[in-house]
Amino acid sequence: MARLCFDYGHGGEDPGATYNGRKESNDVLSIGRAVAVEVRRHGITVDETRTSDATVSLNDRSSFESRNSYDYFISFHRNAFKPEQARGAETYIYLSASTKAKALAEKIQSGLVSVGFVDRKVKNANYHVLRETRCSAVLIEIGFIDNSGDNDIFDSKRNEIIREIVKAILVQLGINYRENVVNESTTYQKQQATSGQTLYRVMAGSYAVRDNAEKQVQKLKSSGFDACIMIFNK
């Protein structure tokens, strides 16, 4: 079975790009680990260069990858330029990247564009984690953290982004994507976190119309509850 190495950019003393209190390191850790959960659900091994808000040097990231034989190395990032002046998603590969890396990058880029990000294309770069890793490597820039529109897409379409990245990886590996079926009549869903901690997710309703779901999320947030939309296909 395939084995992947996921790298979540920055962390710890290095927050990466920041905007209005938002940190790149937190965004990529959150969404990257969610992608890892879904990929593992399909029987694929995923190792991670960090699993918390920890400082990890570039050398440590490439050294981590060199300890095992991986099919792909995927580094998660968010872009930044000048506040509100640039937007969109782009995916990077090394200057002399393999055809496998290019193919995966194109699939991921297409998926990110499909959820609403402006297409900034697949590009070549001499980044450390692309140059110093042994397996086929890609680096994803999931929108600009200093663009409000991109942040809206990142937040409101989080589940779609996760699903599109997962699908791109699975298609590249020749594995069929399976929807994560949840019994919506269950009020509490017991989940086993990757850390071994048991969590209980409370569901506050299911809606056929997204606008109704978003209104319910806003009501919960205004009451002080942490809420988000999760999409389940029957």
CA angle centred on 13, ends 11 and 18, rounded to 5°: 65
For strand 22-23 and strand 18-19, is the pairing parallel, antiparallel, or unpaired?
Answer: antiparallel
**H or E, element range at 198:** strand 198-202
- Measured between its terminal Cα atoms, the distance across the chain in Å is 28
Q: Which residue has the tokens 């079926």?
A: 181
* pLDDT score, position 188: 39
* Continuous segment of H or E residues that includes residue 28: helix 24-40
Range 88-108 burial, b when 16+ CB lie within 10 A, else e: bbbbbbbeebeebbbbbbbbb
Provide the residue-wise pLDDT of the chain in tens; the chain has 234 residues. Answer: 899 999 999 999 999 999 999 999 999 999 999 999 999 999 999 999 999 999 999 999 999 999 999 999 999 999 999 999 999 999 999 999 999 999 999 999 999 999 999 999 999 999 999 999 999 999 999 999 999 999 999 999 999 999 999 999 999 999 999 987 644 333 334 444 444 555 556 667 776 667 777 777 676 665 556 677 776 655
* Model pTM score: 0.79
Q: Which of 109, 103, 227, 217 is nearest to 171 (CA)?
A: 103
Domain boundaries, the chain: 3-173, 183-234
User: At a CB cut-off of 8 Å and minimum separation 6, what does 214 contact?
Assistant: 156, 229
Q: Which CATH superfamily, name and number, covers 3-173?
A: Zn-dependent exopeptidases (3.40.630.40)
